[in-house]
Amino acid sequence: MNLQNLIKKQNRPFLISGPCSAETEKQVFSVCQDIAKNTNTSLIRAGIWKPRTRPDSFEGIGEIGLKWLVDAGKSVNLPVTTEIANAKHVESAINAGVDVLWIGARTTVNPFAVQEIVDALKGTKIPVMIKNPINPDLSLWLGAFERFMKADLNDLTAIHRGFSVYKHPKYRNAPSWEIPIAFKQNLKEIPMICDPSHISGNRNLLLEVSQKAMDLNFDGLIIETHPNPERAWSDSEQQITPMILKELMNDLILRTSIVEASLNDELQDFREKITLLDDRLFEILSIRMKLSEEVGIFKRKNNITILQEEHWKKVIESRLSTADDFYLTEIFVRKFMDSLHQESIRHQIKVMNPDLKKSNDL
Ligand code: PEP
Ligand code: MN
């Protein structure tokens, strides 16, 4: 099968669902029946080898589950996919008749492992989905795709599953939407699927994350479903039944990225106003940076260091405390002020150490 064509052909969102892990033959068959009956799933997922963070968790049922998955898929006439992490997994999955493979976030981080999988797949036509690496590194994610394309393996799809952070206040994995957006700008032809289950880590957030992915024009969703989520052997908090998945899909609002001619003028008006405002913002930023250079010259003359930590702390705190008044989120204000500060330091370094002018990497 050709997965890219299937995704393109189908109405958005292309839906992938199935359990986090295959647990028993009965569980795999029952969830596949429910999925086929109640949802418009196009591809069924189930993990056979599970890369768990801690060794005492369930690490997957292993090879025996491949047959359950393939047979259950056939019984409902749907293709199936599983995660592979090395050449041995590739061989077993292909021999068992798995239709699509996916590479997990803990494998994408490792170019040796990715290359081993590429070498094992060379010459085949099997579609591969590549999840983002656990760390927010766009190049590493793109690099995995480049390894496949260099081996003439081109039926590739990306899965955005969020990025690992220590104690995120809301998500299991921070979505950092700017990274899949940048990915799409680099590799336009690759379909982008969102994995709200692993971003959320919690079933209550699934609709919110799925809606955001749709509003960002993602091609599809991969959502973990289980006949009895509370009793699931892995990722129990984030799984839902196929019936709940059906409700979630009904609640999703699908918007189009194509602007009808009749709406174009009005949208154009808004855009022009925004461009004018952005022009003003950039003019102000440019004046602001010239002032930073004057400060740099002043500091050079008086032998004062560029970074004045206490001062900067106060500036950030004061901006954060008024974020709400300006209708801005604290996250944005912090990121914006940090980038402003970095750029200001760059300008100060330029005048402070003219010989290092070319070094732009602070
Ligand atoms: C999974 O899909 O079950 C999984 C292990 O995902 P990830 O690689 O995103 O952690
Ligand atoms: Mn999972």
CATH of the domain at 271: 1.20.59.10
Whether the CB-CB separation of 191 and 217 falls below 8 Å is answered with no
Averaged pLDDT, 21-40 = 98
Of 178, 173, 182, the C-alpha closest to 202 is 173
pLDDT tens digits along 256-267: 888 888 899 999
What pLDDT is recorded for position 113? 98
- Is there a domain that residue 15 lies in? yes
Beta partners for residue 80, in sequence order: 44
> Helices in 39-172 by DSSP H: which ranges?
64-75, 87-96, 105-108, 111-121, 138-150
Residues 311 and 238 in one domain: no
What pLDDT is recorded for position 357? 57
- Among the candidates 199, 218, 251, a domain finishes at 251
Q: Please report where in the chains the tokens 């999925």 appear, as a residue.
A: 35
The burial class, CB within 10 Å (0-12 / 13-18 / 19+), for 300 is: middle
DSSP at 257: S
Of 80, 144, 70, the C-alpha closest to 107 is 144
The domain total for the chain is 2
User: 288 C-alpha to center of ligand 1: Å?
Assistant: 45
Determine if ligand 1 sits within 6 Å of the CB of residue 65.
Answer: no
Mutate to test the pocket of ligand 1, among 130, 161, 200 (most ligand atoms within 8 A of CB): 161
Who contacts 215 (Cβ-Cβ below 8 Å, separation ≥6)? 255
Which residue's alpha carbon is at the smallest distance from atom 8 of ligand 1?
104
CATH of the domain at 145: 3.20.20.70
- Among the candidates 251, 272, 300, a domain finishes at 251
Determine if ligand 1 sits within 6 Å of the CB of residue 47.
Answer: yes
Mean pLDDT over the full length of the chain: 95
What pLDDT is recorded for position 360? 53
Residues 122 and 85 in one domain: yes
Which one of the ligands is nearest to 232 CA? 2
What are the φ/ψ torsions at residue 29 (nearest 5 degrees)? Answer: -65, -45
Sign of the four-CA dihedral 35, 176, 135, 205 = negative
pLDDT tens digits along 260-293: 888 999 999 999 999 999 999 999 999 999 999 9
Determine if ligand 1 sits within 6 Å of the CB of residue 45.
Answer: no
Determine if ligand 1 sits within 6 Å of the CB of residue 20.
Answer: yes
Lowest-pLDDT choice from 36-45, 204-213, 255-264:
255-264
pLDDT tens digits along 149-204: 999 999 999 999 999 999 898 999 999 999 999 999 999 999 999 999 999 999 99
What are the φ/ψ torsions at residue 178 (nearest 5 degrees)? Answer: -60, -25
Q: What protein residues have CB closer than 5 angstroms to ion ligand 2?
A: 20, 235
Sign of the four-CA dihedral 301, 305, 306, 311 = negative
CA distance 286 to 193: 39
DSSP at 227: S
